[in-house]
């Protein structure tokens, strides 16, 4: 294999025209991706989204197509395109009532607003009564407004739903007419600005507006994606450039090393557009920084060798050829194992994780191509004549002897250090195993964005933005007007009210309780006929034998709701046993995420397990040594265990970003191990003395190991400038992992190599 690779490296340096043509072709494909991806993507047949058939079939379950529902549109407060959160201490005052009505009128006059639902638009509960607004006329007395406030809080559709219990926060549920929506700002800033401008006509009305909801959350996430795509890349690359100048002390070397990751990023971001992966939330900040760091680290190893050879007097072309011969195989192996780590993400069930994994595989492959072609090609030209300038002044080279004292200490205490490495890794793995899965909707949003602020306000004031549901179905053996139906609904409603984290359940039980009279809801089942059809059908469809109890869920993380949903599920199962003619199901997006959270753990274990096994097999086969494969486990697992322990001790949980970070960090952490072991194997063939080979391997690759770690950490830390919580978590885990990887490769790896030497070398040394 080594001979074949040597011939390949000769071809790269000796056939520059062919290499340039290849680089130009890849660049052309990337340009097509930026300009018009359909020119290439149209060649491939389109496939239906995964799970589409299952979703369609699931939607038909339980639907009786022979039943024609009455032509009545249900009045719902559980869905809206956008929500305007209104905060004021003066809502129930003459000025507040007048101002709010003017605000609603102004919003409804916008072409792109179809309708606005708020507490004044709630229909009356009595079918025989005239609709009466919640807010009195602006000329009403103060006492009248106090009475109106109490009535509003008692109304099942208002109190705790459209109006907070303290009476100072109300919601305007906005539905858009998308035919007239001309820009994203219409659905966010346009709505808020209209409300603000109208409220300014009433100087005495102190009010604050915040826009959130389904559409604003989506648009905010997309806007942050586009903004971060350039802003934080520039920050990251700037930090890397500054650090490179300090480390290399040579302008030519920096320019050539920077060429490879620049090409890798340019190619990757263009080509992933052909596969329609560009909208993945991890691709704006994390992907380009990751590709640039992976390409830069391999480029550093190659450049360090070429500069050393040039400083020894080799001509540019010979130095380029010999440099890629020495470290090219290791770079290829690191790219392979890094690709395996990234590629394991494609085994995940979450679409975002899958896409990110494919993008990383594409990026690593293209980055490797850029490193092994662009750098040797540039170094074999006239640029190579000055590539060694600054070599003797390098910060790491000048201090390598001091760092080498660490290896000397390790080799003097081989047994203790190797044992400490194994035990420490096992302990950290045990701590990491305590992590529990979690997910929050706010994670995809900048923490200071309008949509995120509104989300938190709804959590505090109204029990959450997200809705969950309990759906009740009954067989034809039970009549839809049977009091037993209401009894089951009441018991479910009581279960939900007993849970502190469940916000404001609403069902036909609440509607019946709001009607005049006393007694249990099931004893007043006949009063359902007094309810207007639009509000009754929101939670009760007798012809389909379906009823619903809805409740609010805060964005506290699904892990927080795990015990709640577990208790509810068990209690619902008990109810189904007690009422055999009823089928009861806990539903909603929050419930679905909780039910599938175990899949995140499965994805993590599958990705890490598969990647670890494959990397172990690759190293064993490449080095033709089971011993080396086993020895590589500790320095590769140790940094992941450190990152997992950090999450556990920081009180954090496993999230999608954690799953990605663990597998990505595995791919990066193994790089230094490969470079060290590759050099160690080469030195061992020459000196046949285990400890001397270890010292010489460190002397050879130590500069690059420390240098690449500093660059990687600086690149990860640059992502901390992002205001996305997911990006910050990813950056911290990445920085911790690569730092721990350097420690493992400089301390534990030499100790274990020396503690478990190759038998033939041990005998030779003893005989010697």
Sheet architecture: strand order including 113-117: 113-117, 169-176, 82-87, 208-212
What are the two backbone dihedrals, phi and then psi, of residue 62, each rounded to the nearest 5 degrees? Answer: 80, 5
Contacts of 193 (CB under 8 A, 6+ apart): none
Question: For the chain, which ranges sit under pLDDT 70?
Answer: 1-10, 44-69, 126-131, 225-233, 235-250, 281-282, 284-285, 389-404, 597-605, 607-608, 758-768
Q: In whole angstroms, give the CA distance from residue 210 to residue 242.
A: 41
The confidence score (pLDDT) of residue 56 equals 38
155-188 pLDDT tens trace? 899 999 999 999 999 999 999 999 989 888 889 9
Give the three-class secondary structure for 164: coil
With b for 16 or more beta-carbon neighbours within 10 A and e for fewer, the 704-743 pattern comes to bbbbbbbbbbbbbbbbbbbbbbbbbbbbbbbbbbbbbbbb
> Are the CB atoms for 249 and 394 separated by under 8 Å?
yes
Residue showing tokens 């509104």? 454
| Secondary structure in 3-state letters for 607-623 | HHHHHHHHHHHHHHHHH
113-164 pLDDT tens trace? 999 999 998 887 765 555 678 888 888 888 999 999 999 998 899 999 999 9
Within 10 angstroms of residue 35's Cβ, the number of other Cβ atoms is 10
The confidence score (pLDDT) of residue 161 equals 93
Nearest of 286, 281, 121 to residue 217 by alpha carbon: 281
Contacts of 199 (CB under 8 A, 6+ apart): 99, 103, 205, 207, 209
Residue showing tokens 């322990």? 645
Q: Pairing between strand 582-588 and 466-474? A: antiparallel
| Residue 712 in tokens | 């990687």
Within 10 angstroms of residue 201's Cβ, the number of other Cβ atoms is 12
């Amino acid at each position: 294999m080594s001979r074949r690779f040597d011939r390949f490296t000769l071809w790269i340096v000796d056939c520059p025209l062919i290499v340039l043509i290849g680089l130009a072709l890849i660049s052309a494909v990337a340009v097509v991706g930026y300009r018009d991806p359909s020119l290439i993507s149209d060649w491939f047949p389109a496939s239906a989204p995964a799970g589409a058939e299952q979703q369609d079939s699931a939607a038909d379950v339980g639907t009786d197509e022979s039943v024609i529902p009455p032509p009545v549109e249900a009045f719902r407060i559980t869905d809206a395109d956008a929500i305007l959160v209104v905060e004021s201490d003066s809502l129930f005052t003459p000025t507040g009532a007048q101002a709010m009505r003017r605000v609603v009128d102004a919003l409804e006059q916008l072409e792109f607003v179809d309708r606005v639902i708020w507490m004044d638009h709630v229909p009356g509960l009595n079918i025989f009564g005239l609709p009466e607004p919640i807010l009195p006329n602006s000329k009403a007395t103060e006492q009248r407004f106090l009475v109106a406030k109490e009535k509003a809080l008692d109304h099942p559709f208002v109190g705790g739903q459209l109006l907070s219990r303290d009476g100072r926060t109300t919601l305007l549920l906005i539905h858009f007419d998308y035919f007239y929506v001309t820009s994203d700002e219409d659905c966010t800033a346009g709505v808020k600005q209209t409300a603000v401008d109208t409220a300014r006509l009433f100087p005495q009305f102190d009010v604050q507006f915040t826009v959130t909801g389904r559409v604003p959350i989506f648009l905010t996430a997309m806007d942050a994606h586009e903004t971060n795509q350039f802003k934080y890349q520039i920050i990251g690359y700037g930090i890397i450039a500054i650090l490179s100048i300090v480390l290399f002390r040579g302008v030519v070397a920096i320019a050539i090393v920077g060429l490879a990751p620049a090409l890798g990023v340019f190619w990757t971001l263009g080509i992933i557009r052909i596969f329609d992966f560009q909208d993945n939330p991890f691709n704006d900040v994390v992907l380009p920084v990751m590709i640039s760091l992976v390409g830069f680290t391999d480029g550093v190893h190659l450049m360090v060798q070429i500069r050393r050879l040039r400083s020894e007097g080799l001509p540019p072309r010979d130095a380029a050829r010999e440099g890629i011969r020495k470290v090219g195989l290791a770079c290829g192996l690191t790219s392979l194992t890094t690709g395996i780590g990234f590629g394991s993400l494609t085994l995940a069930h979450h679409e975002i994780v899958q896409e990110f994994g494919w993008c990383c595989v594409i990026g690593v492959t293209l980055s490797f191509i850029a490193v092994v072609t662009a750098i040797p090609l540039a170094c074999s030209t006239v640029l190579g004549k000055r590539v060694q300038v600054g070599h003797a002044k390098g910060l790491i080279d000048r201090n390598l002897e001091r760092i080498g004292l660490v290896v000397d200490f390790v080799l003097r205490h081989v047994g203790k250090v190797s044992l400490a490495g194994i035990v420490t890794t096992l302990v950290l793995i045990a701590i990491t195993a305590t992590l529990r899965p979690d997910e929050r909707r706010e994670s995809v949003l900048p923490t200071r964005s309008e949509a995120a602020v509104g989300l938190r306000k709804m959590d505090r004031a109204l029990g959450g933005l997200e809705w969950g549901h309990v759906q009740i179905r009954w067989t034809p053996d039970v009549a839809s007007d049977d009091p037993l139906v209401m009894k089951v609904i009441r018991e479910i409603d009581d279960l939900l009210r007993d849970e502190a984290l469940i916000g404001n359940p609403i069902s036909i039980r609440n509607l019946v309780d709001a009607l005049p009279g006393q007694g249990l809801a099931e004893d007043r089942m006949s009063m359902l006929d007094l309810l207007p059809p639009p509000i009754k059908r929101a939670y009760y469809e007798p012809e389909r034998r379906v009823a619903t109890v809805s409740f609010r869920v805060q964005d506290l993380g699904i892990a927080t709701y795990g015990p709640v949903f577990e208790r509810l599920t068990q209690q619902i199962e008990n109810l189904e046993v007690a009422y055999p003619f009823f089928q009861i199901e806990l539903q909603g997006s929050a419930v679905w995420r909780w039910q599938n959270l175990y899949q995140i753990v499965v994805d993590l274990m599958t990705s890490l397990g598969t990647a670890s096994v494959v990397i172990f097999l690759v190293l064993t086969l490449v080095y033709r040594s089971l011993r080396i494969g086993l020895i590589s486990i500790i320095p590769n697992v140790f940094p992941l265990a450190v990152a997992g322990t950090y999450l556990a001790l920081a009180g954090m949980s496993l999230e999608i970003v954690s799953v990605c970070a663990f597998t990505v960090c595995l791919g990066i952490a193994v790089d230094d191990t490969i470079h060290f072991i590759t050099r160690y194997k080469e030195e061992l063939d020459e000196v046949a003395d285990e400890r001397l080979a270890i010292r010489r391997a460190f002397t050879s690759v130590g500069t690059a190991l420390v240098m690449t770690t500093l660059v990687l950490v600086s690149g990860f830390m640059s992502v901390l400038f992002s205001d996305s919580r997911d990006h910050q978590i990813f950056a911290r885990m990445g920085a911790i992992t690569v730092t721990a990887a350097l420690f493992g490769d400089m301390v534990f790896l030499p100790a274990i190599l020396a503690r478990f030497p190759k038998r033939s070398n041990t005998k030779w040394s003893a005989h010697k």
